[in-house]
Amino acid sequence: MTDAAVIEAVEAHGGRAGLIGQAQGSASILRGSPPPLVGGPERQKRLIDVPAKYRDGYRKAWAGKSRKAAIRAFCLECTGWSENEVRQCTDTACPLYEFRRHG
C-alpha cells in the first residue's frame, strides 16, 4: 500500500483518531501490507498529520538524506506549518536556532 493510499484510507475513516478507534476490535486497513516507510506504522501515523506539500521533505529527512530537510521539518511542525513563522523565528533557546537563522 502506498503512502497516498494509507493517507486516503485514514482520512476516509475520520482521520487518525477515527481509524485507531475502528481498528480496536476490528481488522485494520493496514493489515497484510508492508509499511511503505522505514520506521513502520509510527511514521505512517505521523505523516498523516503533515500537510501534503511537506511530506516529501519528511521522507527525505527520515531517509537520512538531508539534515537541512530534517531541520526544516522540525521547524515547520513547531510553527504550525507556517513558512513565514519559520523565517521570523526568534526562539533563541531552540537548539536549532543557529542553524535556521541564516537559512
Phi, psi of 69 (to 5 degrees): -65, -35
Rg of the chain on CA atoms, in Å:
16
User: Per-residue b/e over 39-70, b at no fewer than 16 CB within 10 Å?
Assistant: eeeebbeebbebeeebbebbbbbbeeeeeebb
Q: What is the pLDDT of residues 40-87, one digit of tens each?
A: 788 888 899 999 999 999 999 999 989 999 999 999 999 999 999 999
Residue 22 confidence (pLDDT): 43
Return the percentage of the chain with pLDDT > 70, whole number: 59
Q: Is the pTM of this model over 0.75?
A: no
